[in-house]
Structure 1
Amino acid sequence: MPKHFETLDSFLSSGRFGNAERILYNTNILYAGVAELIDGRMGTQVGPMLLLRDSQFQIILRAKIDQTIAALQRGDLVAAKAILIRIRESYENALSAAAEEHAELLPINITGGNKNSHVIAGILDASMKADGFSKGVQVLAPTEKQLEILRLSLTFLDQQLPGISKTVFPFVKTFAIVESEFDSAYNKETPMMFMINYKIINNPIITAEFLLHESLHQKLNDLQLTNHLVPDDYDDIQSEAEGDVLIPWGGSSPRPFSIARALATLHVYLHLLLYYAVVLDLHPEDEFSVFVDRAKMAERFVRIYRRTCFLFSEFDKCGIQAKVKPDAISFLNWMAQVKQAIEASLLFERVMSVYSPITYH
């Protein structure tokens, strides 16, 4: 990897907005404190459960802690007690379950005899149906071919973007291979995991993009817990309904995005811009170059760049800047440095001279 891109890999994996150790430390402290508050109010033992090292249970626990706090804020003790009962049930399931994870990868298989695995699969299916995907999702066990492609994808990321790889994937506990109507998805109902369509797992370079893309959503969610990107009274549903950001791709007419969603999208695109710059700069004799269709990869790079520019232009508007906190401005400035550095690269000039007519779509 050229020194130029190596520096950007280090930049995106360090500092206030990139350092995984710091962000995870703050997240763990926050949830330990929240669990202590719940235990003090409800007479439960949620705090010690945070120490159980079981991926499926930790996904359920994080989601249920969030739901419990929301119920307590509403003053709904009945709902809070019901959620805490389900936490206890999942905890007992985890204690009796055998570990069913592929330790050499990110844990990927949430099917099998583990009751919590089936709980998660049910949440995913119901949640995606509620989001408009009428067929929901079916969680699949990985094939040997898929496992090999996933290994290659993670190896490629570790070799080419070692800093980002080591500071993004620690935020996710597992991911599910699914049959679905979408390519991949992150769902806040099941934090610390994501879904990837089995049809995507056929080229290590493309698969790596989706693994990185969805994992970045969890990193940003953790980052937002202790960085004030939006005001305390910010309402994500209202922001989307008001069309704070209108996205000109992904539909026949502009799609309304909330401010938080637009920030998350920009965060992902910024990383993918560097990712495809590295892909396009691979030496022809590199072992992974056989998977690189340079014309298609260049088109992906330019499309991501166009979308990145659009989102930056939206956040430059005075109306949007008035709706975010100073932390968000610092976050945007941090990301802008990466965009500017990529624009100054020789690869950028070479690619844009050939593929510049490509639009957002």
Structure 2
Amino acid sequence: MGSPTQGVEKQLAGGIFGNGPSLKKNSDTYYSGLVGVFSELFPDFGRFADAPRTPQEKSVVRGHLDEAFIYLRTDQERASAKMDELVRLLRTSSPEKPGQPVPPNSSTAGDPPSTGMERPPTLAGWNNPVGHYLQDRFNAAMSHDGLDVAVELREPDEEREAAVDESYRVLAGCLPEIGPSTAAMVDGIALFRGKPHSAYITGTPVVVYVNEDWITDALHGADSLLHETLHQKLVDFGLTRRMLRSGYLDADSSRAPVPWGGTGRTFSADRTLAAYHVYVHLTLLHCAALQHGDALGLPHSDDEVEARTAVRWARARYLGSRFDDPAMDRELDVDGRALVSWLWRANEELGTLALPSGRILATYDQAHGG
């Protein structure tokens, strides 16, 4: 291949948009303050505020605080109802604590590069009210997105645990600066059985969901882990930055046509920005897989990985170009526009890479698929 991808990785791993540890620290500080505020406003919740929590409980707490904080400004009754629901869930999470993490399997061949960051644990212990709540939110989110699916959260067996380890090893091996720090944005990985490959659900933050069969292919698994944890990274960035215009509502947003995934599909500005952010990074992952696949023991042919890279690059470029539309641009605020420009520079640099076939990546600009 052409020039290495380290320069683009360094760009995407740094600065206000890319520095994962800094974003994680800001997020932890923000939610520590929010817990304090809600503990004073809702004393029943305050009794649980300092209790040790499993990753699933952390997800439920943070998701409820996010929603209750929005209601607090406009509808005190709905905010109270949301906090009452949270207290009921926390009370019923004993005696069997949900979400006991499964220790990473040490039997997989090769270890990720030493980063000082362990991969998020694979989660277990779903047969309890907190686990049922998370599964219900997952199914509701998929139905809201127009998909007729039903998922089942699964207990990880030894084989699937090893597959998660291998996927993380590939992610860290391909992107040693971005992979581990982005994965560290979440508290746990939930395996499921169902149609989707993977998911991030806004209402159940700091947990990502990956199909238990999909992850048995390490490159697919690395792609899904990066994809979903990038959503968490962008959410955390948006806590303290002006991403979308004041008063933005997804339902009222200008929309971008999306020429893949079904006829007539469109994305709001928020979803377009999130997908753009993901696809630039997934392009980088696959460029690195082309360069380091043999060393990492990936079984995929260069032709297969090149085709996957082309789709991701073309989708990233397409999504970024949607913000050339003045109507879409008006949905952004100052930090959202800066993010679009930052991602565009990285993706255009990746577009100059020479691929194993001899083609330049940018020549695949129409490869986004149908």
Using structure 2 for the length normalisation, give the TM-score: 0.86
Higher relative contact order (CA 8 A, sep 6+): 2
Higher helix share: 1
What residue is the counterpart of 1:204 in the other structure? 218
What residue is the counterpart of 1:317 in the other structure? 325
What residue is the counterpart of 1:40 in the other structure? 40
Describe how 1:37-186 pairs up with structure 2 within 5 A.
37-46=37-46, 49=49, 52-77=52-77, 79-94=78-93, 96-98=95-97, 100-104=100-104, 105-112=119-126, 114-186=128-200
What residue is the counterpart of 2:286 in the other structure? 276
Does the Cα contact within 8 Å between 1:59 and 1:190 map onto a contact in 2? yes
Paired letter, 2:278: V
1:231-254 C-alpha deviation (Å, 9 max, x unpaired): 120011211xx4x2111111123x
Query: Which of residues 276, 296, 312 is equivalent to 1:266?
Result: 276
SS in 1 for 2:204: coil
Paired letter, 1:311: L
SS in 2 for 1:181: coil
Query: Relative to structure 1, is the Cα distance of residues 297 and 355 closer, same or farther in structure 2, using a 3 angstrom cutoff?
Result: farther
SS in 2 for 1:226: coil
SS in 2 for 1:177: strand
- 2:193 maps to 1:193: no
What residue is the counterpart of 1:8 in the other structure? 8
Query: Which of residues 349, 353, 356 is equivalent to 1:345?
Result: 353
SS in 1 for 2:266: strand
Does the Cα contact within 8 Å between 1:342 and 1:348 map onto a contact in 2? no
Q: Deviation at 1:46?
A: 4.0
- 2:257 maps to 1:246: yes
Does the Cα contact within 8 Å between 1:229 and 1:324 map onto a contact in 2? yes
Q: Deviation at 1:178?
A: 1.6
Does the Cα contact within 8 Å between 2:317 and 2:365 map onto a contact in 1? no
The number of equivalent residue pairs is: 354
Paired letter, 1:266: Y
Answer with 149-158 or 29-38: which moved more: 29-38
What residue is the counterpart of 1:17 in the other structure? 17
Using structure 1 for the length normalisation, give the TM-score: 0.88
SS in 2 for 1:139: strand
Does the Cα contact within 8 Å between 1:133 and 1:181 map onto a contact in 2? no
Alpha-carbon distance in 2 for matches of 1:287, 1:160 = 8
Alpha-carbon distance in 2 for matches of 1:309, 1:266 = 8
Does the Cα contact within 8 Å between 2:245 and 2:332 map onto a contact in 1? yes
Query: Relative to structure 1, is the Cα distance of residues 48 and 232 closer, same or farther in structure 2, using a 3 angstrom cutoff?
Result: farther
What residue is the counterpart of 2:108 in the other structure? none
Q: Deviation at 1:257?
A: 0.6
Alpha-carbon distance in 2 for matches of 1:300, 1:122 = 32
Does the Cα contact within 8 Å between 2:124 and 2:156 map onto a contact in 1? no
In structure 1, stretches of 5+ residues that fail to align are none
Does the Cα contact within 8 Å between 2:314 and 2:364 map onto a contact in 1? no
CA RMSD of aligned residues (A): 2.7
Paired letter, 1:280: L
Runs of 4+ in 1 over 6 A off after TM superposition: none
SS in 2 for 1:196: strand
Alpha-carbon distance in 1 for matches of 2:15, 2:173 = 21
What residue is the counterpart of 2:300 in the other structure? 292
In structure 2, stretches of 5+ residues that fail to align are 105-118
Does the Cα contact within 8 Å between 1:111 and 1:118 map onto a contact in 2? no
1:73-119 C-alpha deviation (Å, 9 max, x unpaired): 22232x33332233223334456444621232522234345542233
What residue is the counterpart of 1:228 in the other structure? 242
